[in-house]
């Protein structure tokens, strides 16, 4: 059994719902998880993690949601060494905005700058699509984790 730390950044709860759903979706891959808000997560703890799943929405003009901003700021200030950390990434956005899913792109850049390695492709949910974010995320997780050794 592997362990994943599932971190969400949200304003209205969709990313948290997706994070909770992924706990179940990852079980068949032998992955157990722990879901936490980015707002409560000490970035120095990322260094010891086997696998991190980052999930965030986008707000404002392509900004991170409120709960993800302290996490992002701490990454920039504390610069933890993430060279042993692998992560997967899923973003929630709305393609009617020019800055579609900018939030997850911002976080991916921040952690890869610190040495983390991304597994799989970034997953995206588009609110314009009318699809359920949990269904989109489950499909993404199945494709992503079937293709990698965790
Ligand atoms: C005021 C507002 C601003 C938003 N800005 C963006 C944006 O710039 N880019 C984007 O892709 N989505 C944007 N969205 C869409 C949200 O990211 C999307 O609805 C997402 O599912 C919200 O997830 P959350 O409940 O986890 O915060 C915005 C939504 C609102 C209400």
| Each residue's pLDDT tens digit, 117-145 | 999 999 999 999 999 999 999 999 999 99
The parent domain of residue 80 ranges over: 2-146
Average pLDDT over residues 74-96: 97
Which CATH number do you get for residue 123?
3.40.50.360
pLDDT band with cut points at 50, 70 and 90 for residue 48: confident
What pLDDT is stored for residue 91 in this prediction? 98
Using the mean position of ligand 1's atoms as its centre, give its distance from the Cα of residue 33 in Å: 25
> For residue 20, which of 102, 138, 140 has the smallest C-alpha distance?
138
| Each residue's pLDDT tens digit, 9-38 | 999 999 999 999 999 999 999 999 999 999
Whether this model's pTM surpasses 0.95? yes
pLDDT band with cut points at 50, 70 and 90 for residue 150: low
Q: What is the dihedral of CA 93, 97, 103, 108, to 10 degrees?
A: 90
Residue nearest (by alpha carbon) to ligand 1 atom 12 = 93
Question: How many structural domains does the chain have?
Answer: 1
- Among 14, 38, 57, the mutation site with the greatest number of ligand 1 atoms within 8 A of its Cβ is 57
């Amino acid at each position: 059994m592997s362990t994943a730390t599932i971190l969400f950044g949200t304003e209205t709860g969709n990313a948290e719902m997706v994070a909770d759903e992924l706990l179940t979706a990852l079980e068949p891959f032998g992955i157990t998880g722990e879901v936490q808000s980015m707002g409560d997560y000490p970035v120095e703890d990322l260094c010891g993690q086997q696998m991190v799943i980052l999930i965030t929405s986008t707000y404002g003009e392509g900004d991170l949601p409120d709960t993800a901003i302290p996490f992002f700021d701490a990454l920039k200030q504390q610069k933890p060494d993430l060279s042993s950390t692998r992560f997967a990434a899923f973003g929630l956005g709305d393609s009617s905005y020019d800055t579609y899913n900018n939030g997850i792109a911002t976080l991916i850049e921040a952690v890869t700058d610190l040495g983390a390695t991304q597994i799989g492709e970034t997953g995206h949910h588009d609110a314009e699509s009318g699809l359920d974010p949990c269904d989109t995320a489950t499909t993404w997780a199945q494709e992503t984790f079937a293709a990698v050794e965790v």
